[in-house]
């Protein structure tokens, strides 16, 4: 199974899917990581500064959610610490399973826990920029 994990540093799970610099792709077979790949997130956007949010009146940002599904379409599962509803809907409609990780685990540890069926997750988690 291929698991995609948004990351800023290739070892931790990003708190915001769309802002992540890259996606760590782990190919797991028999509860072992057989292959590790890093794919750039061409839509990565830095977190807006609070002054910018106050000036514009919003902290919103826009992504092509369908492009996320294309980039990660060969994966079966997405593990994230936070994700807006547009990205989540696009990924799920593309047939990917989206899992919100409740604990602050290293990316590879979370993926192996998912493969074992022991990952604690929270269906209600979203990113701070979405309500």
Topology, domain 2-41+65-116: Nucleotidyltransferase; domain 5 (3.30.420)
Contact 25, 39 (CB under 8 A): yes
Domain residue extents for the chain: 2-41+65-116
d(C-alpha 111, C-alpha 118), whole Å: 10
Residue 43 near residue 63 (C-beta atoms within 8 A):
yes
Res. 28: pLDDT tops 80: yes
**Threshold 0.85, pTM exceeds:** no
Q: In the beta sheet, which residues pair with residue 27? A: 2, 35
**DSSP code for 4:** E
Tokens of 50: 């609070």
Render pLDDT for 39-64 as a digit per residue (tens, 0 to 9): 999 887 655 444 333 333 344 556 67
Q: What is the CA radius of gyration of the chain?
A: 14
> Cα separation of 71 and 44, whole Å?
13
pLDDT digits (tens, 9 = 90+) for 76-120: 999 999 998 989 999 999 999 999 998 889 999 999 999 999 998
Rounded to an integer, the average pLDDT of 59-70 is: 73
For residue 110, count other CB atoms closer than 10 A to its CB: 25
Look at residue 54 in the predicted model and tell me its pLDDT.
35
């Amino acid at each position: 199974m291929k698991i995609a994990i948004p990351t800023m540093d290739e070892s931790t799970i990003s708190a915001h899917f769309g802002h992540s610099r890259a996606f760590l792709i782990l190919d797991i077979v028999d509860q072992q990581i057989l292959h590790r790949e890093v794919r750039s997130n061409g839509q990565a956007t830095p977190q807006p500064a609070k002054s910018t949010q106050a000036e514009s009146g919003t902290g919103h940002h826009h992504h092509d959610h369908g492009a996320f599904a294309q980039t990660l379409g060969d994966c079966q599962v997405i593990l994230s610490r936070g994700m807006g509803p547009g990205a989540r809907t696009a990924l799920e409609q593309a047939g990917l399973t989206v899992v919100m990780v409740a604990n602050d685990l290293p990316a590879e540890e979370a993926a192996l826990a998912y493969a074992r069926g022991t990952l604690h997750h929270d269906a209600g988690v979203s990113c701070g920029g979405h309500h």
